[in-house]
Structure 1
Amino acid sequence: MEEKGKGSERWGGAISNLTEMSSNLESLQKLLLKKAVFVDEETFARASLTAEQARTIKILQQRVETLERELDAAITAAARARSEKRQAEAAQKAAELRTQEITRELENTTKVFELHMEELRAKQEEIDKRDNDIKLLEAIIQTLGGKESSSIRG
């Protein structure tokens, strides 16, 4: 920003010098037009050169003003781009954090699911074991019940 201030100062000084020179040249040109009826070739050549220089100065001054506006627009665009970049980086960081959080949640859910599955398998094994025990007891009961029926009949 400091360099911009120095550059603006120099451009401002140059523009004021050009403006002053332009006014002086215009005054001289008006004076020549009003008071001079005849001038020698050298004076006419100087006046013509002065008028041409005045026109050139005016064109250059306009060009400087245009360039200053373009520079200001470029600086503003660059500032906006930096701001948008910072916002995009912040959004990306937030998205990355959210992704990590979701990943942790999924890992925790997976662990809980695995524990529940282990518990369900253990319960299923216990149920299967009890079913087998019940079937065995039923077979024993049928066997004993069948012998009792035979001994009562006989």
Structure 2
Amino acid sequence: MEEERGRGNERWNAAIANLTEMSGNLESLQKLLLKKAVFVDEETFSKASLISEQARTIKVSSFSYVAPFVALEQRVETLERELDAAITAAAHARSQKRQAEAAQKAAELRTQEITKELENTSKVFELHMQELRAKQEEINKRDNDIKLLEAIIQTLGGKSPIAR
């Protein structure tokens, strides 16, 4: 694609150069005719006038012919710059998307880690609660044993209950 564009540019540049050179040659011829053709016969004068008119026509038509192509070439260059900018923006957007995806994945992994920590903490808390209940049951059993022993002592000793 670049090569085709390069060849197209070369052809346009060559065509513009040819038209510019032709215009210059015609202007030189016209000046020469104006200086030297003062004393020429009618046929030579009409031929020179015709050539001069053709030179003006070629000059005007060459610029009117080349101008749209120059404008078209400028439009192509503008579109190419816009395309390059769009490609750059798309690459930047893809990069940001990858970064966002990586950040999301990291956040998901951190969420999983925190969830595991919470589950482990809950399990540890549950084990501590079971241990505390077992200790409480043991304390209640010993308290009942103490009350039973106190009742036995009172019964055997005939004494009044021990105040606690």
Same fold, judged at TM 0.5 (above): yes
**Higher relative contact order (CA closer than 8 Å, sequence separation 6+):** 1
% identical equivalent positions? 61
Aligned partners of 1:89, 1:135: CA distance in 2, in Å? Answer: 68
Using the alignment, how far apart are the partners of 1:36 and 1:15 within structure 2? 31
Is the Cα–Cα contact under 8 Å of residues 18 and 61 in structure 1 kept in the other structure?
no
* Structure 2 equivalent of residue 21 of structure 1: 15
Q: What stretches of structure 1 move > 6 A for 4+ residues in a row?
A: none
Which of the residues 136, 144, 148 maps onto 1:132? 144
Q: Distance in 1 between matches of 2:157 and 2:12?
A: 128
What is the alpha-carbon distance in structure 2 between the residues aligned to residue 58 and residue 34 of structure 1?
A: 26
Once the two structures are overlaid, the 10-residue window that deviates more, 13-22 or 131-140, is: 13-22
**Which residue of 2 is the match for residue 36 of structure 1?**
30
Query: Is the CA contact 2:19–2:62 (under 8 Å) kept in the aligned structure 1?
Result: yes
Distance 1:87 1:132 in 2: 66
The RMSD of aligned alpha carbons is 2.2
CA–CA distance in 1 between the matches of 2:82 and 2:17?
Answer: 26
Partner of 1:53: 65
For the Cα contact (< 8 Å) 2:16–2:66, is it kept in 1? yes
The residue number in structure 2 matching 1:93 is 105
8 Å CA contact 1:29, 1:51 repeated in 2: no
Structure 2: 5+ residue runs without aligned partners? Answer: 32-48
| TM-score when normalising by structure 2 | 0.75
Give 2:81's aligned residue.
69
User: What is the deviation of 1:71?
Assistant: 1.3
Instruction: Indicate the larger mover: 55-64 or 72-81.
Output: 55-64
The answer to whether the aligner puts 1:118 opposite 2:159 as a matched pair is: no
Q: Which amino acid aligns with 1:12?
A: G
Partner of 1:152: none
Change (3 A) 1:90 1:99: same
Q: Which AA in structure 2 matches 1:25?
A: L
Q: Please say if residues 22 and 54 of structure 1, whose CA atoms lie closer than 8 Å, have aligned partners that are also in contact.
A: yes
SS of equivalent to 1:67? helix
Q: What's the TM-score, normalizing by structure 1?
A: 0.79
- Structure-2 change in CA distance of 1:120 and 1:39 (3 Å): farther
Tell me, in whole angstroms, the C-alpha distance in 2 between the residues paired with 1:140 and 1:99.
61
Residue in structure 2 matched with residue 151 of structure 1 by the alignment: none
Helix, strand or coil for the counterpart of 1:28? Answer: helix
